[in-house]
Amino acid sequence: MNNLYKLLRKPATTLFGVAQSMPKRFYAAPPKRFYKKTSVLYNDGKYEVTLDSRKLKTPNGTLFTVKSEPLAIAVATEFDAQKEHIERSKMHLSALCFTALDNPNRHTKTDMVNYILNYIATDTILFQYDDEKELHDLQRTEWDPIIQWFNERYGTNLEKTMVMSPPNVSADDKAKVSKYLLSHSEDVLFGFIYAVDTLKSVLLAFAAIDQRLSVDKAAALSRLEEEYQAKFWGRVEWAHDLSQQELQARLAASVLFVHLNRSEHFVKEKLIV
């Protein structure tokens, strides 16, 4: 009986113990770096990453494999750059590869293309604002050439809007963009979606991927109004600079991912027997 009483009492005291130290928040601790050296393996036409003698696996448990050598090297370098802990939230390139391999939301190719097509109507650079002359001049000189370039490159007829109602995206425009997107493989589309989500703009994402804009410039154009307002209201390092660096890193990761996964990088050499 005495034992039973002890058993019952024990959880209650630990419960109080937790309640007293409530102000401390519990986050999942990042895993410790358990390897010394990272390397790349070539196996069965695909590249794998090794951490010491173990093979890298995705969060879902499947083996990590990519078709392109530079991508595998970049992922291995990223794992090697981790200091004491593996900080997965700051490994954008690896995260993108993992997402493409695992496909956690079970997206099909059509889902992804439709997502990008529906994004065009809410594209950042198609919404301009003419109440403030200086800002509008900036938008006209910086954003309009990109809209024009996109229309020429993809044969579309997109127009900017100056009011709240979304710009008109015709079925013909959508068909042209979707034809271009569908010519890519599924994993490349993950890169496109990542770029669009980071920049909040389809046009800027396409311009960055097509080498029309450098990554820093595309990021700057996406943050055009924020930069403009910061000129008057001040710039704080821990908000503006932090978000700028993160945006640039994420965009660079997606541009690299798209380029390295496109077929033009896989050179097949003839075997000399």
Question: Cβ 43 to another protein, closest distance in Å?
Answer: 16
By CB under 8 A, tell whether 214 contacts another protein. yes
Among 23, 45, 61, 234, binds another protein (CB under 8 A): 23
Among residues 87 and 111, whose Cβ is nearest to another protein?
Answer: 87
- Annotate the chain with DSSP letters as a single string: -HHHHHHHHHHHHHHHHHHHTTTS---PPPPB---S-EEEEEETTEEEEEETTEEPB-TTSPBP-BS-HHHHHHHHHHHHT--SB--GGG-HHHHHHHHHHH-TT---HHHHHHHHHHHGGG-GGGB---SSHHHHHHHHHHHHHHHHHHHHHHT-----BSSSSPPP--HHHHHHHHHHHHTS-HHHHHHHHHHHHHHT-HHHHHHHHTTSS-HHHHHHHHTHHHHHHHHHH---IIIIIHHHHHHHHHHHHHHHHHHHHSGGG-PPPPP--
By CB under 8 A, tell whether 249 contacts another protein. yes
CB under 8 A: which stretch of 97-105, 106-114, 120-128, 248-256 binds another protein? 248-256
Question: Cβ 78 to another protein, closest distance in Å?
Answer: 8
Among residues 131 and 269, whose Cβ is nearest to another protein?
Answer: 269
Total binding residues toward another protein, as defined by CB under 8 A? 37
Please, which of residues 160-189 interact with another protein by CB under 8 A? none
Among residues 66 and 158, whose Cβ is nearest to another protein?
Answer: 66
Among 41, 69, 136, 228, binds another protein (CB under 8 A): 69
Residues that bind another protein (CB under 8 A): 23-24, 39-40, 69-70, 73-74, 76-77, 80-83, 90, 92-93, 211, 214-216, 237-238, 241-242, 245-246, 248-249, 252-253, 255-256, 259-260, 264, 267
